[in-house]
A = this chain, B = another copy of it.
Amino acid sequence: MDKELEAKVEQKVKEILDRELEAKWNHYLAEKSEANKCAIIASKGSMDWAYPPLILGAAASAMEMDTSIFFTFYGLDIIHKEKHKKLKVPSIANPAMPVSIPNMVGMLPGMTSMATMMMKSWMGKANVMSIPDLIEACFDGGVKMIGCQMTMDVMGVKREELFDEIEVGGAAAFLGFASGANLNLFI
């Protein structure tokens, strides 16, 4: 190829690149965002803190995000066949509760049950699903629910005590998924 033709080809290629590349880029970005991923860590086991991971997980999967929730630490109770039905709301040390309870009263026997009943009632009136229903919605929506192996060892929880549908995995496996997700939430 002579020098003159070479220069012309080079210029031509640059022109085409300028024009074509943005379209290609946007195409790839769109493809990548079609593969939207959401990774949630549920680390708390009181009833009030069981709502956020389940509500966000169900919402993300309804938005067709590839969604996983990793239940670890106190959060393991949420996928426990028995315990998930009996999650409680602490009646003390939460001055932001909708109905404020002085600590002197909150520590009396029965107040934890009362705070729990009150939250259930508020949620029900606002048509928010119960925890068991939210768990089912997550399973139905294809949310991948993972129990933390280390927490099971620490708390002495056996596989058969957890829902049959869940997977069991370690922090490393979860971090692998989460590092590729565009939405990571530690709750």
Contacts and interface: CB of A to CB of B under 8 A. Distances in A.
Given A46-B96, A178-B183, A172 B52 contact: no
Number of copies of this protein chain within its complex:
3
A90 B148 CA distance: 23
- Max chain B CB contacts within 10 Å: which of A28, A95, A153, A187? A95
A interface SS class? helix
Contacts of A65: 175, 179
A55 interface: yes
Contacts of A41: 185
A163 interface: no
A14 B9 CA distance: 12
Name the interface size band of chain A.
Answer: 35 or more
Interface string A89-106: 111111111100011101
Interface of A: 1, 5-6, 8-10, 12-14, 16-17, 20-21, 24-25, 28, 33, 36, 38, 41, 43-46, 48, 51-52, 55-56, 59-60, 62-63, 65, 72-74, 77, 87-98, 102-104, 106-109, 111-112, 122-123, 125-128, 150, 153-156, 171-172, 175-176, 178-180, 182-187
